[in-house]
Chains A and B, each alone.
Chain A
Amino acid sequence: VLTQSPATLSLSPGERATLSCRASESVSSFLGWYQQKPGQAPRLIIYDASNRATGIPARFSGSGSGTDFTLTISSLEPEDFAVYYCQQRSSWPLLTFGGGTKVEIK
């Protein structure tokens, strides 16, 4: 089970966002992050805890291993306000997603 916190993060553009994902058991570094905007499919941001997906800006970074992971957006741009999901592949082929964190404009 992946638990994300907080459920909602209210921040202003230019601020730093820190999102958390906690696994009920170790997933090693096999964790990814997705961004989803209203009416759109999810977009992969980070894979294997800290690797940015193709075309993802450097303001997005991921860290962690084992059971505790963090997605950091160093300085929020207007287009970054969205819902973010973590996902583990440690139990491949069985995949699970966290419940999501909404980053909203304060």
Chain B
Amino acid sequence: QLQLQESGPGLVKPSETLSLTCTVSGGSISISSYYWGWIRQPPGKGLEWIGSIYHSGSTYYKPSLMSRVTISVDTSKNQFSLTLSSVTAADTAIYYCARDDYYDRSGFYEHWGRGTLVTVSS
């Protein structure tokens, strides 16, 4: 059974860089046709798609975050990562990693990590 687990600091200072890693177990991150994504959710609010990556390294980002976001993949470790620079309080959220399913480029996330809360505060 595919499992995803987010890890990283729970507290980041304003203007610094947020870095999270998603470790995949129970399946290979290199499997064809599936895309790996990051989604966030500010406390008490809705879901926001941040971006996604293919095992080849192709990346896609939400336009409004593109200048601050980098998603990368390490197939040797079966992990993919998120960095978000110049964070502000507005970036405080639960960050989820996820994988889509059902067909190539479906964009529908069947598999999710449990999420990790990142707070931006001095």
Interface residues on B, range: 20 to 34
Stretch at the interface among B14-22, B81-89, B104-112: B104-112
Main secondary structure of the interface of A (DSSP, over half): loop
Q: CA A85 – CA B98 in complex, angstroms? A: 16
The proximity string for B residues 61-103 relative to A, scoring 1 for CB distances below 8 Å and 0 otherwise, is 0110000000000000000000000000000000010100110
Q: CA A5 – CA B48 in complex, angstroms? A: 18
B119 at the interface (CB under 8 A from A): no
Q: CA A4 – CA B25 in complex, angstroms? A: 34
Q: CA A39 – CA B52 in complex, angstroms? A: 23
- Check A97–B46 contact: CB distance below 8 A: yes
Q: CA A40 – CA B49 in complex, angstroms? A: 17
Contacts of A93 on B, CB cut-off 8 Å? 35, 52, 60, 105, 107
Q: Count CB-based A-B contacts (< 8 Å).
A: 65
Within 8 A of B (CB), among A35-92: 40-44, 47-48, 51, 53-54, 85, 87, 89, 92
* Cβ-closest 10 pairs across A and B: A89-B107, A93-B60, A41-B112, A47-B108, A95-B49, A97-B47, A32-B108, A92-B107, A100-B46, A99-B46
Known: A41-B113, A92-B105. 12 other contacts (CB 8 A): A41-B114, A41-B115, A42-B47, A44-B101, A44-B110, A47-B108, A51-B102, A53-B102, A87-B107, A89-B107, A92-B107, A100-B47
12 A–B contacts from the bound complex (CB under 8 Å): A34-B109, A42-B39, A44-B101, A89-B108, A93-B35, A93-B52, A93-B105, A94-B49, A94-B62, A95-B37, A95-B107, A97-B47
